[in-house]
């Protein structure tokens, strides 16, 4: 049993490995959330969070995890009985539309095979067919954490524009923000939902809504009940760097440090790093003779790679063996993919040698679990890394 | 300018000074929230949190701040148009009933002078008059953080029992839990709302609902829309130590350490310590020749003391001077008490010498601000402390 | 028993309360002590440590506690049988001359009453009498940690200059550096000995020798055996930011942060803060009706105040009671002062309210121990603080 | 440039990667080193450190780095002019005998090729020839950090016993303690020298002497001057858990946690883990077609592996490339091996996947540096790991 020594490999697609300097920043003493020192911190963060969303508009910070930000996006913009268009891209898209139903919305849920992103052509068809503009919002998960498939938001936007349809575009970037190129303003997104515990390299506990002018206008008339999630008192208090109720100050300290790290590296470098690690991972998967879940190369995820195991293999048993033998956590198959895949997270605070260690653990684990693979994946990944 | 050196005195009535060992615990690496190590932690916390609420029933943990737990208490138990009985004990009681209205409830808001707790006799009258049982819940803030007045929950309960009325009893213990004696089960409370950043000595970011059997039953038929705050999936996932969505793991590490500290000291000792510090603080206030806001000695708060300043004095200017000269944060007067009072928090991780430093800062600050006081408050407090 | 809660008051005259940001800095990952990142850190520290010593010359950093820096000052500059002039200013001066004897030096130890500093007139006499220049070094403890008496180094220097004597001047600043004005270059000190755990606000583990040109020249011929303490390889490796053997890297991280704090406050402000707190403490002592050990007002220490207890009182029992009841550590009487005094440390990361808490603990403790005092010391100190 | 993200790989043979829990333990507040809480800590550590040395006798803890413990071993047991027998096993053995000379000892330095350990046969010869018992001590470096060669201490001891020679046996275990099986008592070692920053998984700053009865007796008559390093006041103060001068308290907190981790894993498991990682590393080196510096398989080090680069290759350039491209620090060739080797540290808090990442970085770095290797080393190591 060697697993007790050394550092755990947390290679689920989030929460991700939090940099030590972020953890240290979070351990500073909590300050008065109504005092001048806090106001300065608040104004700084509310300004500096914007570039990572690709927006110059407001971003609301919730002292809550990402599921809350899903709810916030819906309750601030929609009214009971409103119709929304959702796409079955995977487990989380399914949960989001369930939430929408539960909140009293009517959901048009376009079925999917969990191996593709939201289809822009279907967006076009659906909106074109909706002459009465009964669809009030199109909801898309940018990067499906359950599948490793990244939907093409610019093409979705283009389809909406082509249809001349006034629906809002709500996008979940929980596992893409800070890892995969994303542009709230340029892509015409109305509400971008996100969380702290993936590309932002923070522990879970903070979540976000980036909000367009159009979404702000919609909030004026939206009638779903809301209080904790209400943008209005948030945006009002944010003017002076404060929050309408107690913020989770210590995570805000962490956010300040995480943003510093991201901007020090440079967002284009961050995105390129993730794309490169994703490509190296796919090279490993193919060299093992296994299949990447994502079928469309335009939709490969920079954050995680979901790997199909051969028929008859229980992916969860492989994961358990890897956890036991090599002290590494991998992501499980969720929902209809349970036991069929495992997911390798390669996002956040991550580098070449940690990826090499990660893929080595997967390769040894697959071998020890008796899965028939070619033990050449690590070598293929190293070749990719050293050549690119 | 001496204020830059040494430790800030955070003597607002929450967030409170977080013990170093809690901050250190929170800086451990985030783990897989779906793995076996997490399940063990989750089960431990879900069990060990109960005694601090005085319950053997379930306590739901939200990865969100306290305002969310207010919302949770309402949306899980009530339906649109339901009538609730609230008491104007101060700023936070006012905000809670505003939230209730905003969520579509009808509120019977009993006016108050912000110097008394909820009046059990009024509870008795109101319920006796409500023959049709249209009042579905009585909402009381146990310790009004804005006033330093503690409502007598057992007497409220007795009044409800005497009326034989079936309304639920919802109690906010955000600034009393872990500081002032509280007994969810014994006192027949149906939902206890609380947060992490006061007596629990944690940073903000966690909040709680302790839930009675009767409240659970009410949740079956309550029709306010809910998703993030829904007890049902929480309680289901909690069975195995998990959460239906990503918990804020690092605060849970802190909770484990904070509970260890509370139980190591012993809850009765914790409550006695707070009561003793509150009495010493009132001794100081009186020796200064100032007035404690709370008028009924049965309702003195163990968590904080609100102090009225003489007419013509701006309490906020005194606070600003104290912050500038002595690096201490005190609580402001909120709402209708703005500028009229300041609040001294003496809760959480606190001891005699820190109280002495706190009161010394208040005494010097009042003097330097030109407020006419007798400079004998600190001496009076020290006498109280050494004699008790 | 209230002592378990809240923060311990560490009011011994060192180690002092370490600022949280210093502790956090020290918890960064250890780096390669031979790599480029380390070299940058090393060069920065070796440059930035100088102003705190008041020197533009080299300061050697030892990965060892202060006693080692005493030894280093002796073995680098002296040869077996050399004569040194020492002054019995207290316990630490006594220990230092014992070390000198143990290392093979001949010590001329001028007796003292432990209530005065080194007498410049005696320096003048001794050196004038030493026509043969057999005295090779004069050793003075700048601030006697055991007594709270600060020797007047400029006057000692003047006496040496007046005598035209070539002896080296070696000064221990372990409990004065970063607390009491000190000027290695201007005062013509040859070796300044210091440590990390007092005014520098670090944990123990680092110690220092600031070295004059004359001391460097003396080292060329000094024949006491030395290896770990040898300046020569240190100064050589320091040229590029390195050390001849493994440095204690994590304390160096702390030193960087501690220097940042000191320079942010400004050294003159730091010294004034200490002097002000010392004066407030003496005001308290006198108001209690007790006696400050230090008899000469020109020699009052800014770092600590030693307080004589009345005859028949065991100061150690008072300290034990204060530790037990109020969770505060005070300094014991050492050597011939055991049981006769207690020492209040008011140095390092310290501020008005922490001083007020400290003095409150002393006042309550003396009272509870039955020591006959006037309970007016805290009030006197507060008056001093608010008026100055 | 991807190197800025993620965690640095510190794969020099010490300082090693410090576990987060050790760093956190070290960031607790410094306490009074003369108080009862400290005494308890001191007694616990002085007891619990013994098993890791394989001794039931005293272990002295110095608040200083390892070089100081070398000096301590010599000055406590020897007198000016005493003769010691040393072996040129590498850079550190060379430095130690230089120190001995500098301190006034006479050194018999047996030449070596830096690819073998101390030769027990030479020990036998030298001692047999020393009829007059002029050799007072045999000094051996257990694990040469500069070469990755582990001397066979039991055979050295056996040779000494066979010769019936009374010389002391002094052993440096700085890079073996807590990584490679070591038994102070069973092997009859008189002074074991060690440090904190390798197998003990601490930052540098603590060092050790484990002392036999015979060494204690020798100290009674040894005449090398000593003060800071003197065992006598240490052992006296240690009786009650204290130290004769200020200890470096925060590293002691770290030591407590590090010992907890070592004993939780179990020392035999710790040693087996290191041996297994060393074997996997050698498998990689051979698969690359390179040569391990250590020539005798009985002397392979469990802590580090030194790798010879082909003629014409500058090992330091390879290391610089690896640092730049892959953010990994490797050990340089020291002294006469400068540029000829690089050293891979695989000791301390370390596991299979971190080793895989380490070897991946070496393989990619060698390739990118143009060193002619077979890129099969990582695969060979993974095979070894999964099969053993």
Question: DSSP string spanning C196-240?
Answer: SSSTT---S--EEEEE-HHHHHHHHH--S--STT-HHHHHHHHTT
Residue in chain A lying closest to D272 (CA):
A2
Q: What is the DSSP string of B239-261?
A: TTT--SS---HHHHHHHHHHHHH
Q: Tens digits of per-residue pLDDT, A110-150?
A: 999 999 999 999 999 999 999 999 999 999 999 999 999 99
User: What is the greatest pairwise CA distance in chain D?
Assistant: 65
Judging contacts by C-beta atoms under 8 Å, the chain C residues touching residue B20 are 7, 20
- Spatial distance between the Cα atoms of C347 and C180, rounded to a whole number of angstroms: 9
> Is B4 inside any structural domain?
no
Residue in chain C lying closest to B19 (CA):
C6
Question: Quick check: C24 and A20 CB within 8 A?
Answer: no
Q: Is C138 helix (H, G, I), strand (E, B) or coil?
A: strand
**Summary mean pLDDT of chain A:** 97
Residues B249 and B295 in one domain: no
What pairing do the DSSP bridges indicate for beta strands C9-11 and C328-332?
A: parallel
Question: Quick check: B245 and A33 CB within 8 A?
Answer: no
The beta strand positions in chain B, using DSSP E, are 9-11, 59-62, 83-87, 106-110, 135-141, 143-144, 149-150, 168-172, 191-195, 207-211, 291-292, 304-308, 328-332, 341-345
> Is D1 inside any structural domain?
no
Q: Is the ipTM of this complex over 0.90?
A: yes
Asked if D97 and D140 touch (Cβ cutoff 8 Å), the reply is no
Judging contacts by C-beta atoms under 8 Å, the chain D residues touching residue C230 are 102
Question: Quick check: D103 and C23 CB within 8 A?
Answer: no
Interface of C with A in 27-66 (CB under 8 A): 27-29
Summarize the annotated binding site of C for substrate as residue ranges: 343
Contact partners of C by the rule of 3+ C-beta pairs under 8 A?
A: A, B, D
Q: Among A263, A295, A325, identify where a domain stops.
A: A263
- Spatial distance between the Cα atoms of A157 and A185, rounded to a whole number of angstroms: 11
Residues C302 and C203 in one domain: no
* Residue that is written with structure tokens 């391990």 in the block: D292
Instruction: Quote helix, strand, coil % in chain B, to nearest 5.
Output: 45, 15, 40
- Residue C190 token pair: 């040859």
- The tally of domains found in chain D comes to 2
What pLDDT score was predicted for residue C45?
98
Nearest C-alpha of chain D: how many angstroms from B45?
21
- Does A370 score more than 70 pLDDT? yes
Q: What average pLDDT score do residues A354-379 get? A: 98
Summarize the annotated binding site of A for substrate as residue ranges: 343
Q: Among B263, B291, B312, identify where a domain stops.
A: B263
Nearest to C3 by CA among C348, C361, C370: C361
| Chain C interface test: which of D20, D224, D246 (most C C-beta within 10 Å) | D246
> Where residue A3 falls among pLDDT bands split at 50, 70, 90?
very low
Question: Quick check: D379 and A378 CB within 8 A?
Answer: yes
Nearest C-alpha of chain D: how many angstroms from B28?
7
Question: Quick check: D24 and B20 CB within 8 A?
Answer: no
Q: Does B17 touch chain C (CB under 8 A)?
A: yes
> Where residue A272 falls among pLDDT bands split at 50, 70, 90?
very high
Q: Does D379 touch chain A (CB under 8 A)?
A: yes
Say which of A327, A354, A368 has its CB closest to residue D386: A368
Nearest C-alpha of chain D: how many angstroms from B2?
23
What pLDDT score was predicted for residue B276?
98
Nearest C-alpha of chain A: how many angstroms from C34?
21
Question: Quick check: B24 and D27 CB within 8 A?
Answer: yes
Is B343 marked as a binding-site residue? Answer: yes
Q: Which residues of C202-231 are buried (b: 16+ CB within 10 A; e: fewer)?
A: bbbbbbbbbbbebbbebbeebebbbbbbbb
Asked if D249 and D18 touch (Cβ cutoff 8 Å), the reply is no
Asked if B157 and B187 touch (Cβ cutoff 8 Å), the reply is yes
Residues A162 and A277 in one domain: no
Judging contacts by C-beta atoms under 8 Å, the chain A residues touching residue C29 are 20
Question: Quick check: A357 and D361 CB within 8 A?
Answer: no
Asked if C373 and B347 touch (Cβ cutoff 8 Å), the reply is no
> Is A241 inside any structural domain?
yes
Nearest to A78 by CA among A93, A99, A94: A99
Question: Quick check: C249 and D195 CB within 8 A?
Answer: no
**Summary mean pLDDT of chain C:** 97
What pLDDT score was predicted for residue B341?
98
Residue in chain A lying closest to B229 (CA):
A68
Judging contacts by C-beta atoms under 8 Å, the chain A residues touching residue B103 are 225, 227
| Chain B interface test: which of D7, D24, D250, D254 (most B C-beta within 10 Å) | D24
CA A3 to the chain's CA centroid: 29
**How many CB atoms sit inside 10 A of residue D105's CB?**
24
Q: Which residues of D21-60 are buried (b: 16+ CB within 10 A; e: fewer)?
A: bbbbbbbbbbbbbebeebeebbeebbebbbebbbbeebbb
What pLDDT score was predicted for residue A2?
38
Nearest C-alpha of chain D: how many angstroms from C375?
27
Residues D150 and D218 in one domain: yes
Three-state SS sequence of chain A: CCCCCCCCEEECCCCCCCCHHHHHHHCCCCCCCCCHHHHHHHHHHHHHCHHHHCCCCCEEEECECHHHHHHHHHHCCCCCCCEEEEECCCHHHHHHHHHHHHCCCEEEEECCCCCCCCCHHHHHHHHHHCCCCCEEEEEEECEECCCCEECCHHHHHHHHHHHCCCCEEEEECCCCCCCCCCCCCCCCCCEEEEECCCCCCCCCCCEEEEECHHHHHHHHHCCCCCCCCCHHHHHHHHCCCCCCCCCCHHHHHHHHHHHHHHHHHCHHHHHHHHHHHHHHHHHHHHHHCCEECCCCHHHECCCEEEEECCCCCCHHHHHHHHHHHHCEEEEECCHHHCCCEEEEECCCCCCHHHHHHHHHHHHHHHHHCCCCCCCCHHHHHHHHHHHC
What pairing do the DSSP bridges indicate for beta strands D341-345 and D304-308?
A: antiparallel
Residue in chain C lying closest to B366 (CA):
C386
Residues D273 and D246 in one domain: no
Query: CA–CA distance from B33 to each of B40, B99, C39 (Å)?
Result: 11, 32, 40
Asked if B141 and B44 touch (Cβ cutoff 8 Å), the reply is no
Q: Among B230, B248, B263, identify where a domain stops.
A: B263
What pLDDT score was predicted for residue B1?
37
> Is C3 inside any structural domain?
no
Judging contacts by C-beta atoms under 8 Å, the chain C residues touching residue D224 are 225
Query: CA–CA distance from C119 to each of B305, C140, C153, C335 (Å)?
Result: 54, 10, 10, 21
Nearest to C27 by CA among A48, B20, D174, D151: B20
- CATH number of domain containing C250: 3.40.640.10
What pLDDT score was predicted for residue B3?
43
- Spatial distance between the Cα atoms of B147 and B365, rounded to a whole number of angstroms: 21
Asked if C16 and C302 touch (Cβ cutoff 8 Å), the reply is no
- Spatial distance between the Cα atoms of A350 and A11, rounded to a whole number of angstroms: 10
CA B254 to the chain's CA centroid: 18
Residues C213 and C287 in one domain: no
Q: What is the mean pLDDT of each run of 10 residues along chain B (388 residues)?
A: 76 97 97 97 98 98 97 98 98 98 98 98 98 98 98 98 97 98 98 98 98 98 97 98 97 98 97 98 98 98 98 98 97 97 98 98 98 98 97
> Is D95 inside any structural domain?
yes
Question: Quick check: C246 and D332 CB within 8 A?
Answer: no
What pLDDT score was predicted for residue A140?
98
Query: CA–CA distance from A178 to each of A48, A187, A197, A251, D46 (Å)?
Result: 13, 16, 11, 17, 49
Judging contacts by C-beta atoms under 8 Å, the chain A residues touching residue D355 are 357
On whether the pTM is more than 0.95, the answer is: yes
Interface of A with B in 178-197 (CB under 8 A): 195, 197
Judging contacts by C-beta atoms under 8 Å, the chain C residues touching residue A24 are 24, 27-28
Nearest C-alpha of chain B: how many angstroms from A65?
6
Please give the residue range of the domain that contains residue A206. 21-263
Residues B160 and B241 in one domain: yes
Residue in chain C lying closest to B369 (CA):
C386
> Is D83 inside any structural domain?
yes
> Is D294 inside any structural domain?
yes
Question: Quick check: D24 and B24 CB within 8 A?
Answer: yes
Residues D330 and D252 in one domain: no
- Spatial distance between the Cα atoms of A33 and B67, rounded to a whole number of angstroms: 15
Q: Which residues of C238-267 are buried (b: 16+ CB within 10 A; e: fewer)?
A: beebbbbbbbbbbbbbbbbbbbebbeebee
Interface of A with D in 239-298 (CB under 8 A): 261, 264-265, 269-270, 273, 276
Question: Quick check: D5 and A357 CB within 8 A?
Answer: no
> Rounded to 5 degrees, what are φ and ψ at A213?
-55, -40
- Does C2 score more than 50 pLDDT? no
- CATH number of domain containing D361: 3.90.1150.10
Judging contacts by C-beta atoms under 8 Å, the chain A residues touching residue C21 are 28
Q: Does C348 touch chain D (CB under 8 A)?
A: no
Q: Does D79 touch chain A (CB under 8 A)?
A: no
CA A278 to the chain's CA centroid: 15
- Spatial distance between the Cα atoms of D321 and D329, rounded to a whole number of angstroms: 10
What pLDDT score was predicted for residue A1?
37
Residue in chain D lying closest to A3 (CA):
D351
Task: Tally B–C CB contacts below 8 A.
Answer: 134
Q: Tens digits of per-residue pLDDT, C242-276?
A: 999 999 999 999 999 999 999 999 999 999 999 99
- Spatial distance between the Cα atoms of B331 and B304, rounded to a whole number of angstroms: 9
Q: Which helix (H) or strand (E) holds C274?
A: helix C267-288
Asked if D152 and D185 touch (Cβ cutoff 8 Å), the reply is no
- Spatial distance between the Cα atoms of A206 and A213, rounded to a whole number of angstroms: 23
Summarize the annotated binding site of C as residue ranges: 343
Residues C323 and C343 in one domain: yes
Q: What is the mean pLDDT of each run of 10 residues along chain D (388 residues)?
A: 76 97 97 97 98 98 97 98 98 98 98 98 98 98 98 98 97 98 98 97 98 98 97 98 97 98 97 98 98 98 98 98 97 97 98 98 98 98 97
- Residue D247 token pair: 């200890």
Residues A106 and A228 in one domain: yes
Contact partners of D by the rule of 3+ C-beta pairs under 8 A?
A: A, B, C
Asked if A172 and A182 touch (Cβ cutoff 8 Å), the reply is no
Asked if C187 and C164 touch (Cβ cutoff 8 Å), the reply is no
> Is C334 inside any structural domain?
yes
Nearest C-alpha of chain C: how many angstroms from D61?
12
**How many CB atoms sit inside 10 A of residue C370's CB?**
11
Asked if D69 and D209 touch (Cβ cutoff 8 Å), the reply is yes
The beta strand positions in B142-238, using DSSP E, are 143-144, 149-150, 168-172, 191-195, 207-211
Question: Quick check: B326 and C3 CB within 8 A?
Answer: no
Nearest C-alpha of chain C: how many angstroms from B313?
19
What pLDDT score was predicted for residue D2?
39
Q: Is B263 helix (H, G, I), strand (E, B) or coil?
A: helix
Residues D252 and D359 in one domain: no
Q: Nearest-5° angle of CA D297, CA D298, CA D303?
A: 85
Cis omega (within 30 of 0) for bond into A15:
yes
Residues C72 and C220 in one domain: yes
Judging contacts by C-beta atoms under 8 Å, the chain A residues touching residue C28 are 20-21, 24
According to DSSP, residue D335 is labeled G
According to DSSP, residue D197 is labeled S
């Amino acid at each position: 049993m060697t697993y007790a020594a050394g550092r755990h490999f947390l290679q689920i697609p989030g929460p991700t490995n939090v940099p030590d300097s972020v953890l240290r920043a979070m351990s500073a003493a909590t300050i008065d959330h109504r005092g001048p020192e806090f106001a300065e911190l608040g104004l700084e963060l509310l300004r500096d969070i914007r570039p990572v969303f690709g927006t110059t508009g407001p971003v609301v910070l919730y002292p809550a995890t990402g599921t809350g930000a899903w709810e916030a996006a819906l309750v601030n913009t929609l009214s009971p009985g409103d119709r929304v268009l959702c796409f079955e891209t995977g487990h989380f898209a399914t949960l989001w539309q369930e939430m929408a139903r539960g909140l009293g919305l009517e959901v048009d849920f376009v079925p999917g095979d969990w191996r593709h992103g939201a289809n822009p052509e279907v967006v076009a068809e659906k909106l074109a067919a909706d002459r009465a503009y009964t669809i009030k919002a199109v909801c898309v998960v940018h990067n499906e954490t359950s599948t490793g498939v990244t939907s093409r938001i610019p093409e979705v936007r283009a389809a909406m524009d082509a249809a001349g349809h006034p629906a809002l575009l709500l996008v979940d970037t929980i596992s893409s923000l800070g890892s995969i190129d994303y542009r709230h303003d340029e892509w015409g997104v109305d509400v971008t939902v996100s969380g702290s515990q993936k590309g932002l390299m923070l522990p879970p506990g903070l979540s976000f809504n980036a909000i367009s002018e159009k979404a702000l206008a919609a909030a004026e008339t939206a009638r779903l009940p809301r209080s904790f999630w209400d943008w209005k008192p948030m945006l009002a208090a944010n003017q002076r760097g404060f929050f309408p109720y107690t913020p989770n100050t210590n995570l805000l300290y962490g956010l300040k440090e995480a943003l510093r790290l991201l901007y020090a590296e440079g967002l284009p470098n961050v995105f390129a790093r993730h794309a490169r690690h994703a490509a190296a991972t796919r090279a490993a998967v193919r060299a093992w003779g296994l299949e990447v879940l994502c079928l469309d190369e335009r939709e490969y995820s920079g954050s995680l790679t979901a790997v199909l195991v051969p028929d008859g293999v229980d992916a969860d048993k492989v994961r358990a063996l890897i956890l036991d033998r090599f002290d590494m956590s991998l992501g499980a198959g969720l929902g209809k993919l349970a036991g069929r895949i495992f997911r390798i997270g390669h996002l956040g605070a991550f580098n070449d040698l940690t990826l090499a260690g990660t893929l080595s653990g997967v390769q040894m684990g697959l071998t020890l679990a008796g899965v028939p693979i070619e033990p050449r994946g690590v070598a293929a990944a190293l070749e990719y890394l050293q050549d690119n």
